[in-house]
Structure formats: C-alpha cells, structure tokens
Amino acid sequence: MLIGLARTSTLEQEAGLEAQKRMLGAAGVEKLFVEQTSSVGPRPALEAAIEFSREGDTLCVTDLSRLARGVHDFCRTQTRLAEKRVDLRVLTLGLDTATPTGKLMLNVLASVAQFEREIMLERQREGVARAKVEKRYKGRAPTARAKAEEVRTMAAAGVKKAVIAAELGISARSVFRILAGGASDTP
C-alpha cells in the first residue's frame, strides 16, 4: 500500500499543503496522513502513518523536508521504517528506498539538507550579532514581563499558576519566576 504524508509547519501554509495533497494523490497514495505542525515538535500524523504501515508498504512524501528536519531525525525515522520493512519514496527527488541506490541517495541528500540548515542558522546568528553591534537588534518581545502585574493580580485572587499561564498565554515557568520576584518580571 502507498501511504502518504503531507506536512506544513504552520496553518498559514494552506496552499503548500494542498499542493502536497495533489502531488501525493497523483502518485497513487491510497491512505493520506496530514499534519500542520513544526517538524521539531510532536508529529502525530507521522507517528500514525508509521503505526499504520505494514511490511511491503511504502511511505510517500513530496519532499525530504516534509519528513525530517535533520540527518538524525531522518535516520531515526528511516530506521523505524526499515524495521517494519516499509520503503520510503520522495517524489520531488524521484527516490525510492526499495532500491540500494535509492537508499544511498536519500542518506546523501539528508546530509546535504542538514548542512544547508546549519549554514542558514549560522548566517542567522551572524546577522543577529551584527545587528546587536549596530544597536539595531530588538530581540523577541518580552511577553511574560509585560504581563507581570496581571500575573500578580490573578495569583493574589487565588488563581492557580497553571491557569494563570494558560489564560495569559505565557509559560508556567514565567509565572513562577514572576511570583518569585525574578529579574525577568520587570518591564
């Protein structure tokens, strides 16, 4: 059975998701799993696709980046598929792990993708460092610090810390830090 996996990182990438669905449908995918989540967080559709797959099936993705963020992640997923004797097909690359050449090429391409990501992150860090030197870097907006007074007011009213965090859209850790009088609670 040909099993498809379509993924975008955010809900705003609807067009990209629809394009993946069309491409997977055209490839003959019989069962499609779809998720809109970052590849670095939990991947429920990927987990469901792997769980659903049986020996002799093929998991199909449009692009390697839809499956994994880096070499380690790719290797872990590929190992899980291999243990179940499930092949992997990447449509944009025309690669299929049903062949020895396909297995080799997927590993090489995963390494190249990891290298590209590391170069991109290095450039990003260099840009941030340059912006800091030029005093143009503002950083992330301090959401928890801006809500410190609300946190204290809610806590004084007897609201539980986890509820405060959920209602204000900040982490529970930030709530604890603010209530403990930590340095990060002042704007």
Indicate which residues carry an active-site annotation: 9
CA end-to-end span of the chain:
56
Q: How many residues does the chain have?
A: 187
User: CA–CA separation, 10 vs 38, rounded Å?
Assistant: 7
